[in-house]
Amino acid sequence: MKAAAGSDGAADGARGKVETAPFPWDAVMHAGLFLLRLPPRDFWAMTPREFFIITGGTRRRATPLARGVLDALMGEFPDR
């Protein structure tokens, strides 16, 4: 809850400090209200999980190229 309130979210876990970044409200609001053009009523009614899903959070990510494949492509298509 501290992260959502914008505090640093530091917590004493077993006498050690755990630092967390504040919740990125600017980015989330920009994505929901401007990029997705959600009405404010719908944006604020969403759960974090719903927002994660509509912004592509459950989509499979492509696997990165292996170094050998990248080297082969670079050899076949060199920069000029």
Domain-by-domain residue ranges, the chain?
Answer: 2-59
Give the other-Cβ count within 10 Å of 53's Cβ.
Answer: 13
Question: CA 32, CA 40: separation in Å to the nearest integer?
Answer: 9
Query: What's the pLDDT score for residue 5?
Result: 53
Q: Given the structure tokens 């170094």, which residue do they identify?
A: 67
Q: Over the stretch 27-47, which tens digit does the pLDDT of each residue have? A: 999 999 999 999 999 999 999
Q: Which of 24, 28, 22 is nearest to 52 (CA)?
A: 28
Whole-model pTM?
Answer: 0.53
Whether 36 and 54 have beta carbons less than 8 Å apart is answered as yes
